[in-house]
Structure 1
Amino acid sequence: MNQFLSFAEAIAREAGAILRDRFGTTFAVRHKGRIDLVTEVDVLAERHIHDRIRAQFPDHELLAEEGGLTQTVSDFRWIVDPLDGTTNYAHGYPFFSVAIALEHRQETVVGVVYDPLRDELFSAAKGQGACCNHRPIQVSAVDTLEQALLVTGFPYNVKASPQKNLDHFSAFLDVAQAIRRDGSAALDLAYVAAGRFDGFWELNLSPWDMAAGSLLVTEAGGRVTAFDGQPFSPYVAEIVASNGRIHDAMGQVLMASGQTAMRAVQRGSV
């Protein structure tokens, strides 16, 4: 996997340079939903990544946030988010990233998340551990929710979404040390891998939000599953990731708060 990892790191840095150079300048912004944004910089960065992958690996599939799926007959699929944290970027809030993953036969084998403003490159290859700027990283040793710093996110249009995450957020407020919401799921997962956060959960995500970061967490010694503890898939729109030590406790909170929210919905429909 080393050739793929080195390639992913290189193109993440190249795309990150595009984001960094345009950050804080004037650029076109449009809506692809009522609230969901896309900037011309997203498109430029994705086009660069697309062209580099096509030139190097023309037979590989490519799934990208803005361009969708470029389908081929291949065991390999690149999963790309050229700008994870577009709303942050459009508002000048300095928390965003480039996320690139590679699947081989439906298994994520390479994951890279790059923060261009801090010049932090988080990377992992299956079975080789995780690094930040090529220095090994590992998850935290916190073993109780009471001591845990957690992170999450909310849907773009939380008012219209049937799954608002507010029930889970409220439940964790009662048991965790603190919760953050920064707006880039890929970078949140990288921070779990680096031990900066102890756990992360979120709903309504896409494969490009989760694929790279989920590998970082597992290769750094953490655990990633669905809310109910079932095996994780980036094609199922929910994730809980942790240092492993608090994972079962997080799962219990998520399942209990989800059941409470479901009962409230049922009562309201009667």
Structure 2
Amino acid sequence: MPRRSPHLEVMVRAAVRAARTLSRDFGEVEQLQWSVKGPADFVSAADRRAEQMLVEDLHRARPDFSILTEESGLREGRFPEHRFIVDPLDGTSNYLHALPHWSISIALEQHGEVTAACVYDVTRNELFAADKGNGAYMNDQRIRVSRTKEMSRALIACGLPVRDWKGRKSFPRQYEAMADKVAGLRRMGVSSLDLAYVACGRLDGYWEYGIQPWDYAAGLLLVREAGGRSGRLEGDDRLWEEGTVFASNAALGDELIATLTGA
């Protein structure tokens, strides 16, 4: 991997340090499944501890930058045009059920554009990282999107809205339209890793409605730096507003977008 930018190096170090406590706590979750109280409170505390560590490390290294996190919201810095977007535990439900598929996600947004990204799959020790203009990497090895050219051979990930989630209204139509075209659909519950998997070619595409900036900010840059397409169906001028995130390899982008918007 080319030398990481100083900003990305700060992000990676913070993610690796927070991963230690999340990994240690994850080892306790399976035992807590059998307790009367259950693991929910424990996992919530683990999430908060990881967020606190990340915020402390990022603020110490870049005290003038803003920090947006899932639990604490926005911490304004002296230079608000520079902000870290942080999810200390993407995949909380998986973590809660001792399912080893979750991540730490950190992005750096500067002047409205994501310029650095770090997604750390802790249980697999896979660190996805990118600086804008320098490509995307996993554990220092260059990654690229898949070369799949036909939707009939594509493996696509998606969100799966439940309960009163707004996306339930449009999802069935999108699902049916996509299911008619592709080789397979997957729902794994960690949007940052879905995007990272598109970036490294494990998935050919992805879409999900209603996720938050901390879920997808880092992944968008990973996909783009790996040669793919990513953004919002509603347009990137509304990147941080409510809507649908998508990603694909270079060949399938137009058809994926047309399938989703035409549903």
Q: Give the TM-score normalised by the residue count of structure 2.
A: 0.90
Q: Could you tell me how far apart the structure 2 residues matched to 1:235 and 1:98 are?
A: 22
Contact 1:229 1:251 in 2 (8 A): no
Matched, 1:140 2:146: yes
| 1:222 counterpart (224, 228, 233) | 228
Q: Which residue of 2 aligns with 1:11?
A: 14
Contact 1:139 1:195 in 2 (8 A): yes
Q: Tell me the secondary structure at the aligned position of residue 99 of structure 2.
A: coil
Q: What is the aligned-residue identity percentage?
A: 38
Cα drift, residue 232 of structure 1: 6.7
Contact 1:226 1:238 in 2 (8 A): yes
Change (3 A) 1:127 1:224: same
Q: Which residue of 2 aligns with 1:85?
A: 91
Q: Tell me the secondary structure at the aligned position of residue 167 of structure 2.
A: coil
For 1:15-164, what aligned pairs fall within 5 Å after superposition? 15-26=18-29, 29-30=40-41, 39-74=44-79, 75-155=81-161, 158-164=162-168
RMSD: 1.7
Q: Give the TM-score normalised by the residue count of structure 1.
A: 0.88
User: Following TM superposition, where does structure 1 have runs of at least 4 consecutive aligned residues deviating by more than 4 angstroms?
Assistant: 228-232
Q: Tell me the secondary structure at the aligned position of residue 143 of structure 1.
A: coil
Q: Could you tell me how far apart the structure 1 residues matched to 2:72 and 2:151 are?
A: 39
Number of equivalences: 249
Further displaced range: 125-134 or 17-26: 17-26
Q: Could you tell me how far apart the structure 2 residues matched to 1:230 and 1:251 are?
A: 14
Cα drift, residue 166 of structure 1: 2.7
Q: Could you tell me how far apart the structure 2 residues matched to 1:231 and 1:223 are?
A: 15
Q: Which residue of 2 aligns with 1:34?
A: none
Amino acid at match of 1:17: R
Cα drift, residue 254 of structure 1: 0.5
Cα drift, residue 229 of structure 1: 5.8
The one-character-per-residue Cα deviations of 1:93-130 (angstroms, maximum 9, x if unpaired) are 11100000001111100000001111000000010000
Q: Tell me the secondary structure at the aligned position of residue 250 of structure 1.
A: helix
Further displaced range: 229-238 or 177-186: 229-238
Q: Tell me the secondary structure at the aligned position of residue 92 of structure 1.
A: coil
Change (3 A) 1:20 1:144: same
Further displaced range: 203-212 or 247-256: 247-256
Contact 2:115 2:221 in 1 (8 A): yes
Contact 2:228 2:250 in 1 (8 A): yes
Further displaced range: 184-193 or 1-10: 1-10
Change (3 A) 1:200 1:231: farther
Further displaced range: 97-106 or 160-169: 160-169
Q: Could you tell me how far apart the structure 2 residues matched to 1:23 and 1:38 are?
A: 8
